[in-house]
Amino acid sequence: MGEGLSQGRARKALHGLGPGGALPLLFQGHFRYTAGQTQGSALALFKIRRAQERKVGETTKTDQIPDGKASRGLSAVEQRLCAWKCALEKALGRDLVRTDVALAWWRASRPAFYVATLVPLFLGFVQAYKTTGKWQFGLFLVILTACFFLHLAANLANDYYDYVGGVDGEGTIGGSRGLQKGLITLRQYRVTLSALFGGTVLLALAGVLYTGLWGIWLIIGFALFSSYCYVAPPIRYGYRALGEVFVFLSMGLCMTAGSYYTLTGLVSPAMVALSVPVGLMVAGILYFQSMPEIYTDAASGKRTLANLLGPERARVLYRFWWPFIFILILALWLGNVTAWPALLGAALSIPLHKKACAHVDTALISDQWLPLDAHGHLVRKMYLLCGVGLVAGVALN
């Protein structure tokens, strides 16, 4: 079989291998498309490809999801998106993009975490209305789009640099796996990141020109730094157990108090106080998401707060993390910063926290942390309940 392979089929093998296997060969200059070298290389590449598929547990047929059909392993939302895509393509009379590629971009964007951006912005929006008596929908849309761009850019940059640095390899659960499967290229990531960061700067410029508030540049400057440098060298603060600190500052203080400042031109102590539990909640999501990879991150040289503490102390910190947030929400209610819905949101979150703690205890006892990733939805639901409660509490206060 090896002797019958042509140069064209060798190129197909190289392309199918994806950036994880093909790029090292190309970058090191070891691959040449010559007749003499093609025969053995192509067969070797096919074997490597098959070995990778067996390890990941997915075949090429699984990756290339048939349009219009529900595929095993897809969430209900992803199946619905596939159906909408097929309906749109049928209406237009042409294909738009391969379904598996579209799903790879969807997963890389991590839409389940965008609630972390919405809550602080709506807090600032609602409080700005109570201060000024005006709903500034146009300016708020600019703020919302800029923050969405930054959040998406942070997710993609995390994927990109963790893949390049070898952190999200086989045996880990991090990343969207689009790069590992060859569905998205490194160049496509770079182009998308450039567009997102560039778009954020243009939106910030529009906000500054409209409001005349030059302090916006300080907020957007820190947000850009926080978004890009999470895993990007040389700073990579996410590799230095500082991820939770920067997430607290950027998605707590900057988004909550910063959106209010942009809409009103005022600095409010009440908004700073509201930003504290919000920032801790977002940091709590990141902290929980890092716990399943407490060993694999450490093995790859990525230092997180969880693996810095070690399994036992990481469990203890998580047990007290959310109760401390509940106490802060109670303090905000006692201080007349928010109304009773905030207490209701915190109360409804307590059973979810108990469930999450039980799963963390199981991970510690069994010393099997990777399955904990399947329960990350619990902390996101807690954030949503508390966040909606805070927004409603501010509106009714």
DSSP 68-93: TS--TT--HHHHHHHHHHHHHHHHHT
State how far the Cα of 368 lies from the Cα of 89, in Å rounded to an integer: 44
- Whether the Cβ atoms of residue 275 and residue 307 lie closer than 8 Å to each other: no
Alpha carbon dihedral 206, 216, 244, 351, in 10-degree steps, equals -80
Could you state, in order of their start, the residue ranges of all structural domains in the chain? Answer: 2-57, 63-96, 106-396
> What pLDDT was estimated at residue 161?
86
102-138 pLDDT tens trace = 777 777 878 878 888 999 999 999 999 999 999 999 9
Average pLDDT over residues 200-208: 95
State how far the Cα of 53 lies from the Cα of 231, in Å rounded to an integer: 27
pTM of the full structure:
0.74
235-272 pLDDT tens trace = 989 889 999 999 999 999 999 999 999 999 999 999 99
349-358 pLDDT tens trace = 999 999 999 9
In whole angstroms, what separates CA 63 from the centre of its chain? 21
> What pLDDT was estimated at residue 84?
63
Residue 208 vs residues 133, 146, 205: alpha-carbon distances, Å: 21, 13, 5
Amino acid at the residue 191 = V
Within 8 A by CB and 6+ apart from 351, the residues are: none
Bridge partners (DSSP) listed for residue 240:
303
> What pLDDT was estimated at residue 73?
57
Give the range with max mean pLDDT: 51-55, 97-101, 374-378. 374-378
